[in-house]
Amino acid sequence: MLTGRVRVKICGNTGVNDAILAARAGADAIGVINVANTPRYVSLEAAKRIFRSLPPFVAKVVVVVLDAPDASERIAQIEATGANYVQLHGDEPVELVEDIRSSMSDRIGIIKKIGVGSDRNACVERAKAYEDVVDAILLDTIAGRQLGGTGKKHDWRISRAIVEELDTPVILAGGLTPENVAVAIAEVRPYGVDVSSGVEREPGHKDGEKVRVFIEAANKSGNIKDWSGTYPSAAHPSASLYPLQYHAK
């Protein structure tokens, strides 16, 4: 039986100092964004430096948007950073995700972002479509053409419905802050939470106190779904998520 505290990913890190700060505060995962023309963009070389600075038992995540023509080459470059996970944050179709999975090393997993809008059934069905080919689903707010970091919440009732429908771990993002994360966890009961702008003093730069309070609030919540039976995942038997590995009996 898998219960206990919610896992926490601090995303949108742009430098070593912020990443170390988050790790020392107790983050389970550190994310960097390798999407051009976004305010928290970092190169893969910078991602490698950030990841090398981190202590053991902290998962490393690269956020990307992939297109079919260059997907295999990009994945190889991401693997070279030492990442544990690639987070697909665009509109990658299921077929492309399947192709990416088949081309990847067994040591790296896939997190797929699902945009949450106002249509409950459409959101649930879209999440379910990826369930068998990824290691986790991340729910973020649809806000025009922006890829996240908007500071906007979505309808957490829809997120809760997705959590209830899926066996694959679900990570909640979108508009989370130190002030609302405990309520969000109580309402949605996700496996993990993901925050970027909600713990910043300005775009791309973390606020140490906000990071600390956010992680503390999430750790105290302890109100998550029983994810028994989901580890190791059917999609990726060797994967461990954020970053501990659970083998359900």
What is the SS3 assignment for 67-125?
A: CHHHHHHHHHHHHCCCCCEEEECCCCCHHHHHHHHHHCCCCCEEEEEEEECCCHHHHHH
Helix (H) or strand (E) holding 49: helix 44-52
Q: Which of 11, 18, 135, 194 is catalytic?
A: 11
CB-CB contact of 211 with 22 (8 Å): yes
Distance from chain centroid for Cα 128: 17
- The number of beta carbons lying within 10 Å of the beta carbon of residue 98 is 15
- Report the alpha-carbon distance of residue 190 to residue 244 in Å, rounded: 16
Q: Which of 18, 99, 135, 140 is catalytic?
A: 140
Active-site annotation holds for 140 = yes
- The number of beta carbons lying within 10 Å of the beta carbon of residue 45 is 11
Active-site annotation holds for 123 = no
Q: Checking phi first, is residue 173 left (phi over 0); if not, alpha (psi -120 to 50) or beta? A: beta
- Report the alpha-carbon distance of residue 40 to residue 14 in Å, rounded: 6
User: Given the structure tokens 């179709």, which residue do they identify?
Assistant: 93
> Which residues form the catalytic set?
11, 140
